[in-house]
């Protein structure tokens, strides 16, 4: 009986399959792969030995060997997938976070819940004070045309008073024609225009909102801050009405212990004009860094509406007159809560902010 190199093929294949099954890790498999199916493997050696067979037997032997290789390579591939999956499971088990504590703390009570910033709280309190005095609340846009922010307020181009407001311009339309509003006073203009259009005078309104100036932040200034504008347009309004409203506001918001005063001031849109100041609550009037050692803090500007402004929106100043004011909301919060440096309001230090929930 003639012998063939493939006489032991079935056993050899079985042995290779056992070897493959015994591979324990993906690294194991990589190390042994060449020995199982590579150029020096049993299967490759058998392939080379087929040359000794008679040509009529070679074809059949070649087919058997190819089938054995297909089975072995298939088993190797299956094992590779199994070992990869095992390796992934191990990595996941290693990296697994034990969320037990986290879940427990998430349901602990009281949960830590955020709250509005002190400035938002102050805005609401100020609105409440004025609503109780009979004012309605209105809002206007933060991006304004030059006309609303300046011209309609009696501040024509190149007027020296423009220097009072260091302005951010928006890159829109003609240069320097669209601005981030520097104060809430342009909302007065919107309100008066609407009242004229709807024949809805008189006006008793406050208008809170965000303002922007190219001011360098310091203990009393931010580049983005908030004002609350007030406007009364009615028949027979005089400066004494303004003084009475400011006095009532000061008592209601700060209480009886705080002193306030009106000092002559200048605004192109009011005549006469005044600055409204309160005793510095940080030093109780002694003088400190916050009040630049004056003992007083300016909260806002105010005055009797200039007839030129009424004319710009088509209100007859023979029949109607009015007063206006604009207070800094951040300044009010600062003085009421005795905050030495306004920048603390925007620094997002939770330990500071948490005090004002
Ligand atoms: C004005 O803005 C006028 N529009 C106020 C006004 C309205 C006058 C109506 C007459 C009639 P002034 O620039 O002084 O005025 O600003 C008013 C208040 O806004 C200041 O007193 C201050 O409380 C606040 N304020 C102004 N600039 C800043 C700033 N950079 N940061 C924080 N608060 C500011």
Provide, rounded to the nearest whole percent, the portion of the chain with pLDDT above 70.
Answer: 96
Residues 122 and 95 in one domain: no
Check: CB of residue 65 under 8 Å from CB of residue 42. no
- Please state the φ and ψ torsions of residue 328, each to the nearest 5 degrees: -80, 120
The predicted structure's pLDDT at residue 131? 96
Angle, CA of 249, 327 and 353, to the nearest 5° = 95
- Cβ of 328 below 6 Å from ligand 1: yes
Is residue 60 in some structural domain?
A: yes
DSSP code string of 201-238: --EEEEEEEEEE--PPPBTTB-SEEEEEEEEEEETT--
What is the whole-number distance in angstroms between the Cα of residue 114 and the centre of ligand 1? 30
- Cβ of 303 below 6 Å from ligand 1: yes
What is the whole-number distance in angstroms between the Cα of residue 339 and the centre of ligand 1? 18
Atom 21 (ligand 1) nearest CA: 300
Pocket probe mutation, ligand 1, options 184, 306, 331, 346, max atoms within 8 Å of Cβ = 331
Residues 184 and 292 in one domain: yes
The predicted structure's pLDDT at residue 5? 86
The predicted structure's pLDDT at residue 172? 93
Query: Is pLDDT larger for residue 102 or for residue 130?
Result: 130
The predicted structure's pLDDT at residue 3? 79
Is residue 2 in some structural domain?
A: no
The predicted structure's pLDDT at residue 52? 87
Q: Per-residue b/e over 212-228, b at no fewer than 16 CB within 10 Å? A: bbeeeeebbebeebbbb
Check: CB of residue 219 under 8 Å from CB of residue 341. yes
Into how many domains does the chain fold?
2
Residue 163 in this model has a pLDDT that exceeds 90: no
Ligand 1 atom closest to the Cα of residue 332 is: 23
Residue 102 in this model has a pLDDT that exceeds 80: no
Confidence of residue 137 (pLDDT cuts 50, 70, 90): very high
Provide mean pLDDT across the span 214-228: 97
Is residue 156 in some structural domain?
A: yes
Is residue 109 in some structural domain?
A: no
The predicted structure's pLDDT at residue 248? 95
Residues 191 and 245 in one domain: yes
Quick: pLDDT tens for 7-37: 899 999 999 999 999 999 999 999 999 999 9
Residues 29 and 97 in one domain: yes
What range does the domain containing 167 cover?
Answer: 118-356
List CB contacts of 133: < 8 A, sequence separation 6 or more. 245, 248, 249, 252
pTM for this predicted structure: 0.73
What is the whole-number distance in angstroms between the Cα of residue 329 and the centre of ligand 1? 9
Residues 124 and 76 in one domain: no
Quick: pLDDT tens for 286-318: 999 999 999 999 999 999 999 999 999 999 999
Confidence of residue 108 (pLDDT cuts 50, 70, 90): low
Residues 152 and 201 in one domain: yes
The predicted structure's pLDDT at residue 103? 57
- Cβ of 183 below 6 Å from ligand 1: yes
Residue 105 in this model has a pLDDT that exceeds 70: no
The predicted structure's pLDDT at residue 107? 58
């Amino acid at each position: 009986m003639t012998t063939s190199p493939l006489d032991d093929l079935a056993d050899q294949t079985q042995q290779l399959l056992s070897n493959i099954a015994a591979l324990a890790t993906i690294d194991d498999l990589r190390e042994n792969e060449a020995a199982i199916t590579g150029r020096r493997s049993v299967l490759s050696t058998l392939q080379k030995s087929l040359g000794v067979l008679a040509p009529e037997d070679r074809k059949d032997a070649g087919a058997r060997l190819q089938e054995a290789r297909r089975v072995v390579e298939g088993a190797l591939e299956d094992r590779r997938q199994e070992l990869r999956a095992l390796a992934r499971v191990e990595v996941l088990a290693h990296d697994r976070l034990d969320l037990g504590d986290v879940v427990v703390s998430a349901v602990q009570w009281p949960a830590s819940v955020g709250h509005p910033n002190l400035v938002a709280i102050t805005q609401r309190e100020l609105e409440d004070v004025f609503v109780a005095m009979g004012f309605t609340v209105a809002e206007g846009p933060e991006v304004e045309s030059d006309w609303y922010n300046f011209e309609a307020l009696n501040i024509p181009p190149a007027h020296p008073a423009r220097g009072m407001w260091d302005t951010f311009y928006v890159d829109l339309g003609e240069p320097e024609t669209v601005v981030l509003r520097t104060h809430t006073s342009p909302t007065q203009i919107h309100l008066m225009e609407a009242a004229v259009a709807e024949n809805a005078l008189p006006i008793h309104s406050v208008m809170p909102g965000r303002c922007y100036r190219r001011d360098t932040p310091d203990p009393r200034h931010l580049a983005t801050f908030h004002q609350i504008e007030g406007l009364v347009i009615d028949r027979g309004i005089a400066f004494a009405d303004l003084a009475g409203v400011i006095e009532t506001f000061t008592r209601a918001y700060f209480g009886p212990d705080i002193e306030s005063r009106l000092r002559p001031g200048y605004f192109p849109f009011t005549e006469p004009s005044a600055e409204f100041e309160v005793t510095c609550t940080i030093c109780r009037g002694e003088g400190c860094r916050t009040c630049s050692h004056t003992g007083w803090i300016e909260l806002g500007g105010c005055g009797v509406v200039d007839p030129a402004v009424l004319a710009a929106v088509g209100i007859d100043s023979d029949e109607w007159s009015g007063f206006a004011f604009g207070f800094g909301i951040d300044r009010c919060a600062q003085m009421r809560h005795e905050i030495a440096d306004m920048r603390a309001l925007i620094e997002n230090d939770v330990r500071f902010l948490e005090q004002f929930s």
